[in-house]
Amino acid sequence: MKNYVAINSAIVAPEDAKISIYDLAIQRGYGIFDYFKTIDGEAVWLEDHLDRFYASAAAMHLPVHLERTALKQLISELMHKNKLPDSGLKMTLTGGYAEDGYTIDQPTLIITQHRFDTGAAVAAFENPLHLVRFEHQRQLAHIKTIDYLQAIRLQPFIKEQGAQDVLYFHAGEILECPRANFFIVTDNDEVLTPARHVLHGVTRKKLLENKELKVTESVITPGQLANAREAFITSTTKMVLPVVQIDGRRVGNGRPGEVTRNMRRWLLAAQGIA
Amino acid sequence: MKNYVAINSAIVAPEDAKISIYDLAIQRGYGIFDYFKTIDGEAVWLEDHLDRFYASAAAMHLPVHLERTALKQLISELMHKNKLPDSGLKMTLTGGYAEDGYTIDQPTLIITQHRFDTGAAVAAFENPLHLVRFEHQRQLAHIKTIDYLQAIRLQPFIKEQGAQDVLYFHAGEILECPRANFFIVTDNDEVLTPARHVLHGVTRKKLLENKELKVTESVITPGQLANAREAFITSTTKMVLPVVQIDGRRVGNGRPGEVTRNMRRWLLAAQGIA
């Protein structure tokens, strides 16, 4: 990576973007993060991402040494330094250096920025996704922790199954993808997304907030999934992507549906892309 | 920390013990480790720890760039450099640097060493433990990953409950502590330790292998726990420690029992401590 990075309150050159091996992220996998994008130099839904960032930190007992205004200032400085109008920014907060390898003292804040190709993300809609299900419920699913043990471990399995990503389910409930929320259009034309045991994504939240889109939080059963007319996922980077195959079986007629297209249209407009 | 550290194949000074923030340990909490101790400069049960280290790495699709002989050589060099006769050595293998923040390429190997006070560990037996139960089963419990999200997050809860550690249980089965295996002596004088959904500790393995100690792998139910005469935990650092209180209730007569003392006696002798 060739971009400047913020570590705690300092902006450092790429070659200096290192932290102590005694940090609790490395010793104990302990940390949270959030991720937002910029389009034409403007952060998209930054306040929502900051809300969640501070909430995740509090839930994991991680004090943030920067208040919101100071954090936004640091983000601005980093953006000014990197000069990437369309970008992804990741704010990670780890457990920090721990002499005993176990006790939180002063968390480490890391902000990275990378180029984000908005055009390519928009075009990705034309390559609908194949998913494969896997029984798993993320621990502390409502908190955006850095824990992706299962997701990365499952990469060879996903490839073997000819899929692009995994869809977690547990105890009779369809849940989420590792980095995206999941939605179906039922055979009654309801748009459902799981209410519980999932991360509450910002894109998901925006779809739920718009009453005209008529998205409802609900348990999704395997039976409902089998009979779904459409399925799609949402995330900051993926926006709205159609899912046309799950476990090798077609969803609906196997093509992106009208509801999915409508959601996507609304989202692109809301982000000023379309 | 003031000791030399091995990173990949190099031994580096403490101030250089840093890795890239793009490492998958920091970005995705992805890594495994193992931990062994040395007494009088001799590694204790090293082959067992190396067996598990390579098994954990394979289970997480992490190639180890050093074969066993080369890894042992590196450990020897580090020990020679640090000159700590009684020590703990931690070998961590992370997902390594990932340009995309998601794909395993070349894992990072980190070996740290710290002074271990064998005398203090032996004396700790005189301060029996209070535990508090918490419903949780570690994901991939059989693999020694770096994931301690729950364990560290629960520290304030453990303190509030007046306990020293947490005892995980799930779906009607008593499981383990975050960093130790758990054993009970039943009211029928059987010594039981959970068979499944737990890490298979090396100390646990050694107790199971010695047929004279008569330890059996079995499901432990909350009912059996409530009626247990004794309880204890084992780990490399803790060896055998009595548990005399769980959820504020006494175990047996509330004092370390004869079976626990016997296990400990055997272990100290086996490690050449007693």
How far apart are alpha carbons A68 and A54 in whole angstroms? 9
Helix extents (H) in chain B: 24-28, 46-59, 68-82, 118-123, 149-153, 155-160, 202-209, 222-226, 258-270
B262/B126 same-domain check: yes
Write down the pLDDT at residue A274. 74
A128/A61 same-domain check: no
Q: Does B150 touch chain A (CB under 8 A)?
A: yes
Domain boundary among B78, B94, B116: B116
Letter string b/e over residues B154-172, b meaning 16 or more CB atoms within 10 A of that residue's CB? beeebeebebbbbbbbeee
Residue to substitute from B1, B115, B153, interface A, most A β-carbons within 10 A: B153
The verdict on a CB contact (< 8 Å) between A26 and B31 is yes
B134/B229 same-domain check: yes
A-chain CB neighbours of B78 within 8 Å are none
Cα distances (angstroms) measured from residue B100 to each of A138, A168, B105: 22, 22, 10
Tell me the mean pLDDT in the region B97-122: 96
Residue B1 has pLDDT above 80, yes or no: no
Q: What is the pLDDT of residues A197-213, one digit of tens each?
A: 999 999 999 999 999 99
The verdict on a CB contact (< 8 Å) between B147 and A145 is no
Which burial class, exposed, middle or buried, applies to A131 when counting CB atoms under 10 A from its CB (0-12, 13-18, 19+)? buried
**Which is nearest to B114 in space by CA: A155, A252, A99?**
A99
| CATH (domain of B73) | 3.30.470.10
Chain B residues 41-100 with CB within 8 Å of chain A: 59-61, 90, 92, 94-95, 99
Helix extents (H) in chain A: 24-28, 46-59, 68-82, 118-123, 149-153, 155-160, 202-209, 222-226, 258-270
A-chain CB neighbours of B151 within 8 Å are 28
Model-wide pTM > 0.95: yes
The verdict on a CB contact (< 8 Å) between B26 and A21 is no
Helix (H, G, I), strand (E, B) or coil at B45: coil
A69/A142 same-domain check: no
B127/B89 same-domain check: no
Mean confidence (pLDDT) of chain A: 97
Token digits of residue A11: 């902006």
Tell me the nearest-neighbour CA distance from A246 into chain B, angstroms: 22
Positive or negative, the Cα torsion across B7, B8, B9, B10?
negative
B94/B229 same-domain check: no
B101/B152 same-domain check: no
B78/B207 same-domain check: no
The verdict on a CB contact (< 8 Å) between A28 and B152 is yes
A148/A197 same-domain check: yes
A130/A242 same-domain check: yes
Q: Which of A19, A21, A30 sits opposite B152 (nearest CB)?
A: A30
The verdict on a CB contact (< 8 Å) between A29 and B99 is no
Q: What is the pLDDT of residues A185-244, one digit of tens each?
A: 999 999 999 999 999 999 999 999 999 999 999 999 999 999 999 999 999 999 999 999
Largest CA distance in chain A: 57
Write down the pLDDT at residue A124. 96
Domain boundary among A75, A98, A116: A116
Q: Does B27 touch chain A (CB under 8 A)?
A: yes
What whole-number percentage of chain B has pLDDT above 90? 99
Q: What is the pLDDT of residues B215-246, one digit of tens each?
A: 999 999 999 999 999 999 999 999 999 999 99
Q: Which domain holds residue B252?
A: 122-270
B111/B177 same-domain check: no
The verdict on a CB contact (< 8 Å) between B99 and A149 is no
Domain boundary among B85, B116, B147: B116
In the numeric block, the tokens 């047929």 are attached to: B211
In the numeric block, the tokens 């007569």 are attached to: B253
Q: Are A228 and A186 contacting, i.e. CB atoms less than 8 angstroms apart?
A: yes
B-chain CB neighbours of A25 within 8 Å are 25-26, 29
The verdict on a CB contact (< 8 Å) between A136 and B139 is yes
How far apart are alpha carbons B215 and B60 in whole angstroms? 30
Which residues are B235's β-sheet partners?
Answer: B239
Q: Are B131 and B166 contacting, i.e. CB atoms less than 8 angstroms apart?
A: yes
A-chain CB neighbours of B59 within 8 Å are 153
Say how many domains are in chain B.
Answer: 2
Please give the residue of chain A at the shortest CA–CA distance from B27: A146
Q: Are B187 and B180 contacting, i.e. CB atoms less than 8 angstroms apart?
A: no
| CATH (domain of B216) | 3.20.10.10
Q: What is the pLDDT of residues B52-99, one digit of tens each?
A: 999 999 999 999 999 999 999 999 999 999 999 999 999 999 999 998
B-chain CB neighbours of A28 within 8 Å are 146-149, 151-152
The ipTM, to two decimals, is 0.96
How far apart are alpha carbons B86 and B84 in whole angstroms? 6
Band of pLDDT at residue A34, cut at 50, 70 and 90: very high
A129/A262 same-domain check: yes
The verdict on a CB contact (< 8 Å) between B25 and A22 is no
The verdict on a CB contact (< 8 Å) between B155 and A5 is no
Q: Does B139 touch chain A (CB under 8 A)?
A: yes
How far apart are alpha carbons B170 and B108 in whole angstroms? 33
**Which is nearest to B107 in space by CA: B9, B183, B245?**
B9
Token digits of residue A200: 């509450």
Tell me the mean pLDDT in the region A86-111: 96
Write down the pLDDT at residue B274. 74
